[in-house]
Chains A and B, each alone.
Chain A
């Protein structure tokens, strides 16, 4: 159902970073204080996290927000 609510033009490396650490979505959610569904929605690009959540994720993965999230080419 594309187009009604345009998907955020942001790519992220969350799934890769999580897989590298062997964490489940639930485990990552618990670490940053959100639900498994929220992590899934961020990973699949259905939901852009707030700045505080993005910063928490970056801290958990010991990286920067810019290294985790980037705009789709052309945006």
Chain B
């Protein structure tokens, strides 16, 4: 991670990270409010639906900027780790769906998509990092 960035650029990046976190949190809160409020019109509900995926966009930008300042080795680790995470996430969703269908998990349970995605990504990247470190 030897690539250094100027202090001013780093400060802007951290400020944007904070803004991205706020947008993510409040985006989801407002989205939930619009979707589940019984007085919401259909248009407002659609707005709530649109806000949920849009709220994550600033975070994706933070991730892309983060990737652009690490070196090619870590970029490779993150790329391969993300691919692993994608598979893990699919497997988790399939397992959860099967568990619900088998009635071993209550049908009232649901997956927090963002949380599941973040955990899958962290596991995928960690596995990949360990693999690159440990393989002969």
Which residue numbers of A lie inside 8 Å of B, CB to CB?
1-2, 4-5, 7, 29-30, 33-35, 37-38, 41-42, 46-47, 49-50, 53
Contact = CB atoms under 8 A, between A and B. Distances in A.
B132 interface: yes
Contacts, number: 44
B136 A35 contact: no
Contact of B72 (A2, A7, A30, A49): A49
Contact of A5 (B74, B131, B134): B131
Interface size class of B (residues with CB under 8 A): 10 to 19
Contact of A33 (B3, B76, B131, B136): B3
A50 B135 contact: no
B2 interface: yes
A9 B132 CA distance: 15
B2 A34 contact: yes
A7 B131 CA distance: 12
B36 to A, nearest CB: 44
Given A1-B131, A33-B3, A47 B73 contact: yes
Interface in B62-83: 70-74, 76, 80
